Amino acid sequence: MASLQIRNLIKDYGSFKAIRDVSLEVPSGEFVVMVGPSGCGKSTLLRSIAGLESITSGEISIDGRDISKVEPFDRGVAMVFQNYALYPHMTVRQNMGFALKIGGASKVDVEKAVQRAAGILRIENQLDKKPKSLSGGQKQRVAIGRAITRSPDVFLFDEPLSNLDAALRSQMRVELGRLHAELGATMVYVTHDQTEAMTMASRIVVLRDGIIEQVGAPLELYNFPATRFVAGFLGSPRMNFIKATVHTIDNDHLHLEAAGLAGRLRVPLLHADNALDGMQSGTDVIVGVRPEGFVDGDVEGYRDWRIEGQVAVVESLGRDTLLYLNGGGIKAFDSESHEGYLAIHRTRQLQAVHGQQLQVAIDPGAAYVFDASGKTCVFPLAPNHLLAGAA
């Protein structure tokens, strides 16, 4: 168990800047998930910690010891690879004990460590098999077991679940959570899957273009995304983004006009702070509404923000229903559907069919407002959108 510090890390590939000045503090025992789209630098960052990449400048230290010039195997880190990277010609036992054997440990010690790791992962009866005869989930357990055997200061995970099917993935998420609780170890986990980040992390680090966009606990980031990028990245389906213009600002509300919306959207200014500086009538902004931030169109008091649309796609999830609505004049941009459908989440069963007319209304109390640069200016009455969704 150890803490990890990264200070002013920079990594260039020629003229391409993979990581531009990243600093991060990971306290001992924390499960940090680094998340971001392809090419954001998360894998490079992880591999730099492992020593598989040389860094251009900066410092990486574990418990205060600078390891950025240390050979990979002397850093006290163990890594779990996306493709498992199990040695095909060795049995599970040999795979798990390899590092200790190379390090010169006695046979008894190696066996003891392997047995302990196998016990934690419940793979005692697989020890004499070759990786070829294991299923994907078993391979991943062995790969994790190989890391545990070494009792490293820091565990590194590089998208370890992305080769598994959906059912196994959610099972392994629970497993990894249990493992973290059991070992109490410091873990750094890289993924592009926001669900993994939300469910497992003590803290999430959102990366974008080689820069840390925001760091925080999962719900903190979900409820108070600092930027439109973070808001769009966490949460599934994505937040709906609608273009709007400032009409007026008064003490309590921001009044916005959006094409296709009958009335002006009256967004309460509870968490606005000073972010509205420089905003005036006519400034372009972006309104963000999570799929659960809508109410039924005929609810008293919300009629002004009614959207009359046609149901394009219905996804019944059992208790919940996801609707993709063709909002006519109201179009979501930068969304999951190219057509600009609005994603709407209802926490009940709906018997909607394709083409059916449907009225919903934006709940202004659940709306985010982002300025042109992507910074969040107005947060909703968090976590009020959960209540709004139930309406």
Partner 1 sequence: MGSRFRWVQVLLYGFVSLWSLFVLLPTAWMVIGAFKTKREFFLDPLGMPASFDFDAFERAWGTGVGGFLLNSMFVTALSVLVIVVVSAMAAYVLARTDNRWMRLVYLVIVAGFAVPVQAVIIPLFQMVSGAGMLNSLFAIVLPYAAYGIPFTIILFYAFFLDFPRELEEAALLDGCRPVKTFFHIVLPLMGPAVASAAIFQAVFIWNEFLLALLMLTKPAVKTLTVGILQLGGEFTSDWAAIMAGLSIAVLPILTVFILAQKYFVRSLAGLGK
Partner 2 sequence: MSDTSLAKPVTGPDASTWILLTPALGLVILFIVIPALLAIAGSFFTIGIGSTNWQFAGLANYTRALNDPIFWLALRNNLIMVVGSIVLQVGFGTVLAAILDRGLPRGSTLFRTIIFAPMVMSTIAVALIWLVIMDPNVGALNTLVKALGMQPPTQGWLGDPDIALWVILVIAMWQYTGFMMVLILAGLQGIPRELYEAAALDGARGLKAFRHITLPGIRNVLIVAVLITTIGGFKVFDLIFATTRGGPANATQVLGTYIYQQAFNLGNMGYANAISVVLLLIAVLLGWLQLQVSRRS
Which residue, 100 or 204, is less far from partner 1 as judged by CB?
100
- CA–CA dist 350, 15 (Å, integer): 53
- Alpha carbon distance 70, 384 (integer Å): 49
Categorise residue 173: left if φ over 0, alpha if ψ from -120 to 50, beta otherwise: alpha
Query: Residue 148, interface with partner 2 (CB under 8 A)?
Result: no
Q: Which of 33, 45, 55, 79 binds partner 1 (CB under 8 A)?
A: 79
Closer to partner 1 by Cβ: residue 150 or 180: 150
88: partner contacted, choices partner 2, partner 1, none (Cβ within 5-8 A by kind): partner 1
> Both tokens of residue 22?
């990243």
DSSP structure class, residue 133: G
Sorted by sequence, the CB contacts under 8 Å of residue 225 that are 6+ apart come out as 214, 231, 234, 368, 376
Q: Is 140 in the site for partner 2 (CB under 8 A)?
A: no
- Residue 44 sits in the site that holds partner 2 (CB under 8 A): yes
Residues 182-201 that bind partner 2 (CB under 8 A): 192
- Kindly indicate which of the ranges 34-42, 86-94, 222-230, 336-344 contains the residues binding partner 1, using the contact rule CB under 8 A: 86-94
Query: Strand ranges (DSSP E) for 231-375?
Result: 240-249, 253-257, 265-268, 284-289, 294-296, 306-316, 321-326, 342-346, 357-362, 367-370
Residue with smaller CB distance to partner 1, 123 or 344: 123
Task: Mark residue 37 as left, alpha or beta (left: phi above 0; alpha: psi -120 to 50; beta: remaining).
Answer: beta
Among 38, 102, 278, 280, binds partner 1 (CB under 8 A): 102
Of partner 1, partner 2, none, which one does residue 206 interact with (CB within 5 to 8 Å by kind)? Answer: none
CB of 213 to partner 2, least distance (A): 17
Q: Which stretch binds partner 1 (CB under 8 A): 65-73, 114-122, 243-251, 359-367?
A: 65-73
- The tokens describing 336, both together, are 């999951």
Shortest separation between residue 48's beta carbon and partner 1, angstroms:
13
Residue 58 interacts with partner 2 (CB under 8 A): yes or no: no
Residue 70: alpha-carbon gap to chain centroid: 30
User: Rounded to whole angstroms, how far apart are CA atoms 378 and 391?
Assistant: 22
Q: Estimate the share of the chain in helix, then strand, then coil, as percent rounded to the nearest 5.
A: 30, 30, 40
Residue 214 CA from chain centroid, whole number: 11
Report whether 276 contacts 254 (CB < 8 A): yes
CB count in 10 Å sphere of residue 79? 23
Minimum distance, C-beta of residue 109 to partner 2, in the bound complex (Å): 26
Q: Show the tokens assigned to 177.
A: 């959570």
Does position 177 bind partner 1 by CB under 8 A?
no
Tell which one of 10, 29, 30, 52 touches partner 2 (CB under 8 A): 52
User: Which residue spans within 172-239 are E strands per DSSP?
Assistant: 186-191, 203-208, 211-216
Q: Which residue in 98, 229, 233, 379 binds partner 1 (CB under 8 A)?
A: 98
Q: Which stretch binds partner 2 (CB under 8 A): 44-52, 85-93, 281-289, 353-361?
A: 44-52
Q: Does 164 bind partner 1 (CB under 8 A)?
A: no
Q: Which is nearer to partner 1, 77 or 289 (CB)?
A: 77
Binding mask 66-85 for partner 2 (x = CB under 8 A): -----xx---------x---
CB-wise, 85 or 215, nearer to partner 1? 85
340 binds partner 1 (CB under 8 A): no
Which of these segments, 59-67, 80-88, 209-217, 284-292, binds partner 1 (CB under 8 A)?
80-88
In the chain, the largest separation of any two C-alpha atoms, in whole Å, equals 77
Q: 273: burial class by Cβ within 10 Å (0-12, 13-18, 19+)?
A: exposed
Ranges within 9-38 binding partner 2 (CB under 8 A): 13, 18, 38
Q: Nearest distance from residue 93's CB to partner 1, in Å?
A: 14
- Residue 102's contacts (CB-CB under 8 Å, 6 or more residues apart) are none
Within positions 3 to 62, which residues make up the interface with partner 1, using CB under 8 A? 50-52
**Which residue ranges make up the site for partner 1 (CB under 8 A)?**
50-52, 71-73, 77-79, 81-83, 85, 87-89, 98-99, 102-103, 146, 150
**Which residue ranges make up the site for partner 2 (CB under 8 A)?**
13, 18, 38-39, 41, 43-44, 47, 51-54, 71-72, 82, 158-159, 192
